[in-house]
Amino acid sequence: MKKILIFIVILAPFNVSINGQDLKPGTQIPQPGKGIFIKKAQAYPYLLYLPKNFVADHQHSYPLLLFLHGSGERGNDLELVKKNGTPGFVESMEDFPFVMLSPQCPEEETWDSERLMALVNEAIENYSIDTNRMYVTGLSMGGYGTFDLASNYPGKFAAILPVCGGGQKLKAEKLIKTPIWAFHGADDPVVPVSESKNMVEIVNKLGGNAQITILPGVGHNAWDYVYNRAEIYQWLLSHQLK
């Protein structure tokens, strides 16, 4: 029987101060994004989630989850990012141990790996990130972005979880050391299930560690059947860089 996350609203702890900004653990705080080394385009704004037990010091470190939305959530309103997937319900979860970054992609653009990595570096610099436990997930356009980011920065992420996405076959070799769990609806009319299947098959043929869960009778909205599963977060946390 699948484990389903239990949502319980509890009181959040006291605010923490980071770089002069008061941040409230257990909530999602809009951030402009500094970009750090971005030159070709503006940095992505993002929602920042800090675990309820977050402590801003050098004695604690936390896993990082980067969540990439789909094409329908692009724009300049960060509330749109909460429409689908984990950002929509993370604040009501009893225990979510990740620092989560949920950036927003501008209209008419797709995810850019360099800008995403700048955001990851910003998190490492400011939010006590355990760099051996960094993960990426995303849906639809974000699923493609997940494959792309991990292949462009091999060895940076401990595991990835793309949902109804796909990747570039020529980059599959860059993914063989990254555990992958892909999800896809069997009846997806927007992104064919073959997009995920082909990537998983190629990565495994090259000696990688990839698996896929195909959801029977499900269309493009596979995310509705994925992100409320406790086991996906447990699976991510079971992997770390060596």
SS (H, E, C) 138-200: EECHHHHHHHHHHHHCCCCCCEEEEECCCCCHHHHHHHCCCCEEEEEECCCCCCCCHHHHHHH
Specify whether the CB–CB gap between 76 and 106 falls below 8 A.
yes
Sheet holding 180-185, edge to edge: 28-31, 46-49, 99-103, 62-68, 129-139, 159-163, 180-185, 210-215
Give me the phi and psi of 27, to 5 degrees please: -130, 165
3-state secondary structure of 134: strand
pLDDT of residue 6 exceeding 90: no
Integer Cα distance of 99 and 125 in angstroms: 13
Q: Are 62 and 130 in contact (CB under 8 A)?
A: yes
* Mean pLDDT, range 37-56, rounded to an integer: 77
Q: Is the pLDDT of residue 35 over 50?
A: no
Domains of the chain: 20-237 (3.40.50.1820)
**Averaged pLDDT for residues 176-189:** 99
| Comparison of pLDDT for 106 and 3, the residue scoring more | 106
The whole-number pLDDT of residue 23 equals 66
Residue 143 and residue 197: Cα distance in Å, rounded?
13
pLDDT at 108: 93
Among 211, 212, 206, which Cα is nearest to 185's?
212
CA dist 18 to 29, 125, 220, Å? 12, 11, 39
pLDDT band at residue 21 using 50, 70 and 90 as cut-offs = low
Percent of the chain topping pLDDT 90: 75
The larger pLDDT score, comparing residue 218 to residue 52, is at: 218
Residue 184's pLDDT band, with cuts at 50, 70 and 90, is very high
Give 15's pLDDT tier (boundaries 50, 70, 90): low
| DSSP 3-state percent helix, strand, coil across the chain (nearest 5) | 30, 25, 45
pLDDT of residue 75: 96
Q: What pLDDT does 94 receive?
A: 80
Calculate the average pLDDT of the chain. Answer: 89
Give mean pLDDT, residues 198-204. 98
Q: Are strands 62-68 and 28-31 parallel, antiparallel or unpaired?
A: unpaired
Among residues 57, 228, 198, 71, the alpha carbon closest in space to that of 143 is found at 71
Q: Are strands 180-185 and 159-163 parallel, antiparallel or unpaired?
A: parallel
**pLDDT tens digit string along 116-159?**
999 999 999 999 999 999 999 999 999 999 999 999 999 999 99
In terms of Cα–Cα distance, which of 105, 116, 161, 104 is closest to 138? 161
